[in-house]
Amino acid sequence: MSRGLGDVYKRQTLRVGGVAEWMLEPRTPEELREAWIAAHEFVQETATRDAEPAPVRVLGGGANLVVGDGVLPGVVITTEKVRRIFRPTAPPDESAPEDVLAGSVEGDPRIAQGRAADDPRLVAWCGATLPALLRTARDLGFAGLEGIVGVPGHVGGGVAMNAGGRWGEMWDVVETVRVLELDGTVRDLARDECSPSYRNANLGGRVVLGVVLRFEPEGRPAVEARMRQYLTEKNRVQPVTEWSAGCVFKNPDPEVAEGRSAGRLVDECGGKGLSRGDAVVSPLHGNFIVNQGEATSVDVLTLMEDVRDLVAQKTGIWLEFEVKRWVE
């Protein structure tokens, strides 16, 4: 465990925030489990009497997150190195129970091993990036995840928050998810044991270790064409190349908001271009706050509240934050 070296700033897409007091960098799901247990023991042991133990947090791709400035107390476990993507390997003995998540095939994930050649599934560990996963699926001609093209971040976060948009979402292809319970035990949840909803897989705070994804084999040209189309459209309406945390607010209930998205509400209320320091509401899309260079976490958080108050005053609609906040 390293003290004071855990630079959270560089590990999230908005580029604000300070450093983690302690940081752990496991390389496999098993190491992540060990890190989780060790970190909890550590914060219990070092807690001062009558005070709550410091928090233990898991950091994925930092794509949907605002981190406070300064030192973040407690332990941050990053998933950056837990990043393998592979095709399921069939058990050597057909009668053996299948545990595709336990594998960890080295090398090119596009190469099927043994009987797996016709298997339209991929296994991804939590720290695999979503862009790497999409590239692998595209190269294999596996359809089903094109809708999340352009979404940054890691598989773990994408699964936990059911990342997605107009053209589809992560749970469209989830078959099984391996999670870490809060007490450190590992469990596999089949898709029908879970109740994913809009921007929330409802995993109850469990940590995603890895996932088995089932695709439709369709061939590379069709998959690639859809990815290009969606990416072109996204580039036109979202500040994809700027530092941001993605959409700040969840879209409100269509009945309450008469079908208007959060971005449209901010736009209609005149919120585009509002700023605090270098944090600015994107002139391209009202649901994005971009960091123009030197924004602090306080700038971003204050601007988020300004925008929420503005929309509430003008429409009576109270927008709910989509981005997570790690602030003491």
Residues within window 210-249 making contact with ligand EPU, judged by CB under 6 A: 237, 246-247
Alpha-carbon Rg for the chain in angstroms: 21
Where b means 16+ CB within 10 Å and e means fewer, 37-53 reads ebbbebbeeeeeeeeeb
Residues within window 82-141 making contact with ligand EPU, judged by CB under 6 A: none
Under rule CB under 6 A, residue 250 binds ligand EPU: yes
Tell me how far apart the alpha carbons of residues 9 and 71 are, in angstroms, rounded to a whole number: 11
Name the residue type at position 32: L
1-to-39, 43, 115, 187 alpha-carbon distances in Å: 9, 13, 41, 26
Identify the helix (H) or strand (E) that includes residue 161: none
Query: Three-class SS of residue 165?
Result: strand
Under rule CB under 6 A, residue 261 binds ligand EPU: yes
Residues within window 10-69 making contact with ligand EPU, judged by CB under 6 A: none
The residue range among 28-36, 121-129, 205-213, 261-269 that interacts with ligand EPU, by the rule CB under 6 A, is 261-269
Tell me how far apart the alpha carbons of residues 151 and 60 are, in angstroms, rounded to a whole number: 13
C-beta closer to ligand EPU: residue 180 or 281: 281
Hey, what are 94's tokens? 């057909």
Tell me how far apart the alpha carbons of residues 302 and 282 are, in angstroms, rounded to a whole number: 15
Tell me how far apart the alpha carbons of residues 86 and 47 are, in angstroms, rounded to a whole number: 40
3-state DSSP of 281-292: ECCCCCCEEEEC
Under rule CB under 6 A, residue 267 binds ligand EPU: yes
Would you call 199 a catalytic residue per the annotation? yes
C-beta closer to ligand EPU: residue 9 or 167: 167
Where b means 16+ CB within 10 Å and e means fewer, 215-244 reads beebeeeebeebbeebeeebeeebbbebbb
Minimum CB–partner distance for residue 23 and ligand EPU (Å): 25
Set 11, 178, 199, 276: catalytic member:
199
| Total of residues contacting ligand EPU (CB under 6 A) | 17
Hey, what are 232's tokens? 């072109």
C-beta closer to ligand EPU: residue 190 or 237: 237
Which residue in the set 84, 226, 276, 285 belongs to the binding site for ligand EPU (CB under 6 A)? 285
Hey, what are 131's tokens? 């862009």
User: For the window 287-326, what string marks contact with ligand EPU as x by the rule CB under 6 A?
Assistant: x----------------------------------x----
Which residue in the set 159, 160, 262, 301 belongs to the binding site for ligand EPU (CB under 6 A)? 262
Under rule CB under 6 A, residue 153 binds ligand EPU: no
Under rule CB under 6 A, residue 251 binds ligand EPU: yes
Under rule CB under 6 A, residue 263 binds ligand EPU: yes
The CB-nearest residue to ligand EPU is 165
Tell me how far apart the alpha carbons of residues 17 and 9 are, in angstroms, rounded to a whole number: 5
C-beta closer to ligand EPU: residue 224 or 267: 267
Residues within window 154-213 making contact with ligand EPU, judged by CB under 6 A: 165-167
Under rule CB under 6 A, residue 143 binds ligand EPU: no
C-beta closer to ligand EPU: residue 3 or 198: 198
Active site residues: 199
Query: Which residues in this chain contact ligand EPU in the complex, by CB under 6 A?
Result: 165-167, 237, 246-247, 250-251, 261-264, 267, 285-287, 322
